Amino acid sequence: MNESSPHYRIVCIGSGPAAWTSALYTARASLQPVVIEGEPTREMIPGGQLMWTTEIENFPGFPEPIGGQELMDRMREQAVHHGAKVINEAVEEVDFSLRPFRLRLSWSGWIEADAVIIATGARANWIGLPSEERLARTGGGVSACAVCDGALPFFRDKVLAVVGGGDSAMEEATYLTKFASEVVLIHRRDSFRASRVMVDRALSNPGLRVEWNSRVVDVLGDDFINGLVLEDTVTGEHRTMEVGGLFVAIGHTPNTSFLGDQLQLSPKGYIMTPTPWRTVTSVDGVFAAGDVMDDYFRQAITAAGTGCMAALEAERWLAHEGAAGARPPVLETAESSVGKPE
């Protein structure tokens, strides 16, 4: 142990629903958690993807829509109220080879922790257009989550465009037909990479049509989207299409690059949790919650739920293991003692 490094019982990395829920639960368990909130970048800001969401209607407990920033502020305040400490830095590097674990922060150096909860989320993959980014940030009708936003009054009875060709794009386009006057699925090739069953379901929907061999090269509108400029990927010709909303469904990238090879990750970079319905990772004493380990649901409420799970597992693990000293952590298996009665 490095005597000069600050030492904490538990550290939560992240600042979205999973992180604040895990901080709340561990704080109420008197574990004095420290939340490494992160720093703003071009792609992400503390608070995660919900900071770009203007209205949330599907988070339990709020009969009226609540803004994403307000929801994150309230979650943060609740965790701090119960004793969580917040550090406004990012984690640049981790060392999980020995206990206590070590984490290098962006400018204040190394800290140590007996247990770690990773809740750094995932960022939506965008097309990369300045107009797209501007309208997404300001609530101007550009979104990366149809399930989150598609039912909002803003999008109802309008022509909505979905960009993508995988299962997520098929699912989001089909879902939006419940609310839109028409859904236009825009794909840069002449065939989809999605599974056959998902493609058949989408193409058989009378409220959906496809723009093949097309890509979006500009999003039109000042305060709110009103159209798209499409480029034909075969001929290079440009054309304009009027739409009242754009949903980008070209995947997500989990925020796990800072982990290096310290944890087992999926081929897509998500943290693996070897035991089903658990949050323990491949390193005993390190837990994962939220979109950083969930490439399927990706909802605020499911992230919060796994944040609760990770906090409870970490609390029980600490009760069994304590500060285990400088010995290598063991790989998590189905026979782990975490959560079993003493």
Q: Decide: 9 and 114 in contact? Cβ < 8 Å.
A: yes
H helices then E strands: how many in the chain? 7, 17
Is residue 145 annotated as a catalytic residue, yes or no?
A: yes
Name residue 185's beta-bridge partners.
162, 210
Distance between CA atoms of 68 and 144, rounded to whole angstroms? 14
Distance between CA atoms of 216 and 71, rounded to whole angstroms? 32
Q: Decide: 99 and 83 in contact? Cβ < 8 Å.
A: no
| Active-site residue (options: 12, 114, 145, 291) | 145
| Active-site residue (options: 12, 114, 148, 284) | 148
Is residue 308 annotated as a catalytic residue, yes or no?
A: no
Distance between CA atoms of 305 and 215, rounded to whole angstroms? 37
| Active-site residue (options: 73, 95, 114, 149) | 149
- Alpha-carbon separation of residue 314 from 24, 226, 286, 319 (angstroms): 13, 48, 8, 9
Is residue 149 annotated as a catalytic residue, yes or no?
A: yes
Task: Please report the DSSP string for 28-93 in residue order.
Answer: HTT---EEE-----SS--TTGGGGG-S-B--STT-SS-B-HHHHHHHHHHHHHHTT-EEE---EEE
Distance between CA atoms of 287 and 142, rounded to whole angstroms? 33
- Residue 100: asked if its preceding bond is cis (omega within 30°), the reply is yes
Q: Which two tokens stand for residue 39?
A: 């720093």
DSSP letter, residue 272? P
Closest CA to 293 of 278, 312, 311, 283: 278
Q: Which two tokens stand for residue 144?
A: 């990366």
Report, as residue numbers or ranges, the catalytic residues.
145, 148-149
